[in-house]
Amino acid sequence: MTKRKDRSTAVRKIKRKVQSGESREYYRRRLKKPTVSCAICKSQLRGIGEGAKSERTPNRKFGGNLCHRCQAKVIVESQRVREKSKSIEDVQMLYRRYVQGQI
């Protein structure tokens, strides 16, 4: 009987032949997918499920890259730059890369 820790779907069973000719079973833990984080504030992004990244991301600007707080700040800053009430040099360095893409 296998050990209790090896009877999970998170553990993969691997069969190998050893030098003596007999086959043995090894158990290796499956890798977890890395959690996706915001590019600016490094907080964990919510609402991203399993599967390929193109399938998981929300369908909005900066979806899968920025959290909702940072996304709102970038949109506000880009609008201020567009209306010329603020120059691009006055935008914080963290947001400048995303604001320049919006102009």
Report the length, in residues, of the chain: 103
For residues 77 and 60, membership in a common domain is answered with yes
Mean pLDDT of 57-86: 92
Residues 11 and 56 grouped into a single domain = no
Domain of residue 10 covers 1-32
- Same domain? 27 vs 39: no
CA–CA separation, 75 and 92 (whole Å)? 13
Asked if residue 92 and residue 43 are part of one domain, the reply reads: yes
Q: How many domains does the chain have?
A: 2
Shared domain for 19 and 39, answered yes or no, is: no
Same domain, 42 and 62: yes
Do 39 and 11 lie in one domain? The reply is no
- pLDDT at position 74 is 95
pLDDT category of residue 66 using cuts at 50, 70 and 90: very high
Q: Is 41 left (phi over 0), alpha (psi -120 to 50) or beta?
A: alpha
CA distance 55 to 66: 16
The pLDDT of residue 56 is 74
Mark whether 89 and 39 lie in a shared domain.
yes
Closest by CA to 14, choosing from 31, 27, 30, 1, is: 27
pLDDT digits (tens, 9 = 90+) for 8-54: 989 999 999 999 999 999 999 988 877 889 999 999 988 887 777 67
